[in-house]
Structure 1
Amino acid sequence: MKLRLFPQETAGLQALARMSDHILAGTQTLAELLGAGRTGFTPLTQSLRKQEAESTADFATLLTNMRTSFINPLPREDLYTLGQLLNETSEILTGAGELIELYVLDRTPTRISDQLEILARQAELTASAMKSLNDLDGLEDYWLEVLRLAKRAQHTHRVVVAELLESHSATTFTKYRSLSDQFAAASRQMRTVATQVGSIIVKES
């Protein structure tokens, strides 16, 4: 870690931490959605939209802080990239919830639940990491573990698609495939966040 001689603004890091918390909360809401009946879909989807809106507000706070702070804890381009990736992840999670509601997916295959479980673990690790960006030396294990989970998520996604294709009609396949694709996209996004953190670790060493 580079020696820093001047105090820095931490509001940007706090905004990133809040954004990662929204993602973790989003995975928890999606878990509730997968177990909810049809009457429970609408309020839970609204909760996802609220979490996404809060993430976007935190992203705006981050951008304002970057413009007005003389000394940032990390390079501005890295802060911006992390914020953008986290905010986009919240959008993907909202999209997944809307698919569950619109397609009335009240009997989700177990494998898709497995995808969400992996994603939730990535979100948990990411939330912890975003709170530790002022101490990069301890984040290498996070980086590697999220990459490992991303590979597992990719494999699970391939299995989901194969099993859906074998067991469902074309219409049902398309519906569940869309949800599975959303979870896979969110997992890849978490991997990109971890890769960005890895890049920061290398640059700041």
Structure 2
Amino acid sequence: MSYSDFKTIDQAVAILELTVEDISHLFSHIAPIEASQRLKETLDETLDLAVSISTEKARSELIITPILLELRRRFNNKIGYFSGNTFNVDESKGLTGACDFLLSASKNQSLVTAPVLTLVKAKDNDIRIGLGQCVTQMVAAQIFNARNGLEQPVVYGAVSTGTNWKFIMLENQIVKIDLTEYFITQLNQILGILAEPFRIYFEGAIA
């Protein structure tokens, strides 16, 4: 098995022995971040085009990637950005294969180091289909972090069509799924949630 073989959240939870909690407005306490003029202008140019093409590749390149690069700039390029990289962690559990996106709290681009956020492109523009894959990658990130001496209690994940975003937290063996779905019109809230794990990490490192 590999990440992409986990087609549903039920499958991931059963095989990886997890517990699921559905929580409304899980991230509502997180302050939004104002999108830069650069990102606004980029999306003004690419959003309608991506929706018109309506392929996973177009939505990934024209919507998701500019948003993630905006996040990277917010932290002065101290975030590692990986797209389509192989992330083999535990073959016995099916935690192998390529990840759509991994973001790590390190500017090292030569190798994946301690990821704190995983993001899955929704297949067929259906958020639900990506949830199982996202959870398995979050578990892999949790194991990877522990192996690398980063005892991070929470791993963050997201599934996105580009225009729709759903966020997840993995705390120990508990998967917390935000029932709230965010839309691209809520770009500032999306940026705030994406930035949260890095804000926590870097503030902790300074402290």
Same fold (TM over 0.5): no
TM-score of the aligned structures, taking structure 1 as reference length: 0.30
**Under a length normalisation based on structure 2, what TM-score does the superposition of the two structures give?**
0.30
Higher alpha-carbon Rg: 1
User: As a proportion of its length, which structure holds more helix?
Assistant: 1
